[in-house]
Amino acid sequence: MLELHHVSRSFAQNPVLNDISFTVPGGALTGFVGANGAGKTTTMRIIMGLLSADSGSVTLNGQPLTGATRPNFGYMPEERGLYPKQPVIDQLVYLGQLHGLTRSGARKRAMELLARFGLDDRAKSKLESLSLGNQQRVQVTAALLHEPDVLILDEPFSGLDPIAVDAMSSILRDYAARGVPVLFSSHQLDLLDVLVDHLVIIQDGRILADSSADELRATQASRHRLSLGSDTGWLRSEPGVTVIDISGHEALVNFDSESDAQRVLATAMSRGPVAEFAVHRPSLADIYREIIK
């Protein structure tokens, strides 16, 4: 489990991170979302030891991370970067060696991962001759080479085609299943909905949410969607009901309790046909939009 405790960082008197704390649990995929400039990349760079925090600490399984290097972390920086003029396999082997793998071990591992991304036939090509999507896959491969204990990925899905998104998702799930804490940032909210187990939301250098996806969804689980045969305006005057949205025959409401829900359903049925009366499952995208409002 990776934890941030009260981390703050300013650049030239401009606070970028303001006393942030959150947890990246092992064995789960943690999504890290926030608008551009919210502080995601700065946070990740502090986790990686590339930036120092002005105050606060980062711990892994309770042990504070010290020094600049995190040799057992897998990292994919925001700005992609490998050696454009070098063959793919050569640079992967080099990075693997720096992570402490043997030359042959690194080669074997790199080829396995490339095969998983369908790139094994491009191993000897220069990186710059690959499409951007494929370069991205190589970048991910570089982060995974040494079987990292922690994965920190800045926008791993950006620029990937749907097939590659699936491959990337399944790889990330594999790592999470092994108990590795995985933190990744993304702007693709719909993707987060199907992928993440845990969500951290950051805005203007403050953490707005740090909880499991299920918990977040549960906060809004009392929402119901109603679709009736006639106008739904009467719901506004029902006790125990908070109307979120009404438009003609349809309504989105919050019930104070389950009994309120059952009573309203009975009333609705006595007033006419009920086409839909369902618990509304909010997507994480909806929740995110709700929270950052």
Partner 1 sequence: MNASTAPWLIVALREVETKLRDKAFIISTIVTLLFIVGSVAITGVLGNRTSHFTVAATDDTSYQVLEQVIKDRPDDVELSISRLTPENAKQQLSAEQLSAILSASDDAREFTLTGFNEVDQELSSLVREAMKSVMTDQLLAEAGLESSSLPDNDDLVTDQLHGDSERAAMASVMGLVFSFLFYMAAFLFGMPIANSVIEEKQNRVVEILASTIRLRQLLAGKIIGNVILAMLQLLAFLSIGLLAAYISPIQIPFLGIVTQVAGWFVVFFFGGFLLLAGIWAALGSLATRTEDLQQSSGPVVGLLMAVLFIGLYAKGSFLVVASYIPIVSSAAMPIRLLSGEVAIWEPVLSLAILLAACWLVLLFAERIYRRAVMHTGGALTLRKALKLEV
**Which residues does 190 contact at the CB level (< 8 Å), separation at least 6?**
283, 285
Phi-psi region of 6 (alpha: psi -120 to 50; beta: other; left: phi over 0): left
Q: What is the dihedral of CA 26, 213, 136, 146, to 10 degrees?
A: 10
Tell me the closest approach of the beta carbon of residue 289 to partner 1, in angstroms. 30
Among 1, 8, 26, 94, binds partner 1 (CB under 8 A): 94
- Name the phi and psi angles at 56, rounded to 5: 90, 175
| Contact between 69 and partner 1 per CB under 8 A | yes
Of the pair 72, 131, the CB lying nearest partner 1 is at 72
| Contact between 82 and partner 1 per CB under 8 A | yes
Alpha carbon distance 23, 41 (integer Å):
16
Q: Is 249 exposed, middle or buried (0-12, 13-18, 19+ CB in 10 A)?
A: middle
| Contact between 184 and partner 1 per CB under 8 A | no
Number of residues that bind partner 1 (CB under 8 A): 31
Among 22, 32, 75, 184, binds partner 1 (CB under 8 A): 75
Element (H, E) at 172: helix 162-177
Alpha carbon distance 6, 56 (integer Å):
5
Among 79, 121, 245, 258, binds partner 1 (CB under 8 A): 79
Of the pair 126, 173, the CB lying nearest partner 1 is at 126
Q: Token pair for residue 159?
A: 């620029």
Alpha carbon distance 120, 110 (integer Å):
9
Judged by CB under 8 A, the chain residues 116 through 145 that form the site for partner 1 are 142-143
Amino acid at 16: V
236 contacts 246 by C-beta, under 8 angstroms: yes
Of the pair 64, 229, the CB lying nearest partner 1 is at 64
| Contact between 182 and partner 1 per CB under 8 A | no
Of the pair 40, 70, the CB lying nearest partner 1 is at 70
Facing residues of 224 across strands?
253, 279
97 contacts 108 by C-beta, under 8 angstroms: no
Of the pair 54, 286, the CB lying nearest partner 1 is at 54
Find the part of the chain contacting partner 1 (CB under 8 A) among 70-78, 195-203, 217-225, 277-285: 70-78
Find the part of the chain contacting partner 1 (CB under 8 A) among 81-89, 115-123, 233-241, 246-254: 81-89
Find the part of the chain contacting partner 1 (CB under 8 A) among 63-71, 110-118, 180-188, 251-259: 63-71
| Contact between 45 and partner 1 per CB under 8 A | yes
255 contacts 222 by C-beta, under 8 angstroms: yes
| Contact between 208 and partner 1 per CB under 8 A | no
Q: Token pair for residue 284?
A: 């994480």
| Contact between 97 and partner 1 per CB under 8 A | yes
| Contact between 52 and partner 1 per CB under 8 A | yes
Where does this chain bind partner 1 (CB under 8 A)?
45, 48-50, 52, 68-71, 73, 75, 77, 79-84, 86, 94-95, 97-103, 105, 142-143
